[in-house]
Structure 1
Amino acid sequence: MNAWKLLVASGLLLAAPVCAHEAPGRNGGRVSDAGPYHLELVARERTVDLYLLDGAEAPLPAAGFTATAYLMVDGKPMRVALAPAGGSRLTGLADAALPAAPKGAVQLTAPDGTRASARFN
């Protein structure tokens, strides 16, 4: 990872707004606020799944959304690009195995270009 990407990832981890809550999700992950959305982050081995929910935590179609997960794994930053995978899920593959509850941040881009971010502690 070059220095610029490391700087951006570190900045997102530090500058992400404090979320109003982080709670268990229905898919086995953690749910955190991201602007008008709630995001559920699920990590299994090298796969990162992100479930997109509305403010009432009802599933929203992920078509047209993109996201990037900036995770800390064994003290090192890791960037994972996430793309729609059907239903309300975006998914991506990490370069290395992930813990069950990785710490980090997710930056979500909506179809209209607006962005929101969530923090997972």
Structure 2
Amino acid sequence: MAMYRLLAVALAALLLSTSAQAHAPQAGPNGGKVIHAGANYHVELVASGTTEVVLHLTDMNDKPIAADGYRATAILVVNGQTIRFPMQPGGGSRLVGTAPVAVPAGVRGAVQITTPQGATVQARY
């Protein structure tokens, strides 16, 4: 009986770790991390030590989505301080924002995206 419980616990741990890896951030083509946002989007946040932050929008097949009509709010933690700033379409599949301070690569935080239809999705970094 104890052997079956141990086997069940081990199987559950394996399934949970596999699931977590499937949704882990992946390196994106623009140097940022790609995260799922809602059921329909992949978003790549690119920050490189300047005040400009870029968010690249793609569909679940990593095909670029025109950013026209989209907007976002970035909420990031830089040097222990939470900063918040808007992001607007910047051409192509890009949303661009200017942070009040330089934002390092690999920054932690979240981006809330509003679609042209008014729906919101979130990506956490």
Say yes or no: TM over 0.5: yes
**Which structure has more helix as a fraction of its residues?**
2
Displacement over 4 Å in runs of 4+: none
Instruction: Tell me the TM-score normalised to structure 2 length.
Output: 0.79
| Structure 1 counterpart of 2:81, one-letter code | K
Structure 1 partner of 2:86: 81
- Bigger CA radius of gyration: 2
Are 2:59 and 1:54 equivalent residues in the alignment?
Answer: yes
Same amino acid, percent of matched pairs? 46
Structure 2 partner of 1:42: 46
Structure 1 partner of 2:25: 22
Number of aligned residue pairs: 103
Structure 1's unaligned 5+ residue stretches are 1-17
Residues 46, 98 of structure 1: 8 Å contact kept: yes
Distance 1:69 1:91 in 2: 10
Instruction: Tell me the TM-score normalised to structure 1 length.
Output: 0.82
Q: Give secondary structure in 1 for the equivalent of 2:101.
A: coil
Deviations 1:69-111 (A, max 9, x none): 1000011100121000110000011101111111000000000
RMSD: 1.4
**Structure with the larger RCO, 1 or 2 (CA within 8 Å, 6+ apart):** 1
Alignment of 1:87-98 (within 5 A): 87-98=92-103
Structure 2's unaligned 5+ residue stretches are 1-19
Distance 1:104 1:57 in 2: 22
Residues 22, 30 of structure 1: 8 Å contact kept: yes
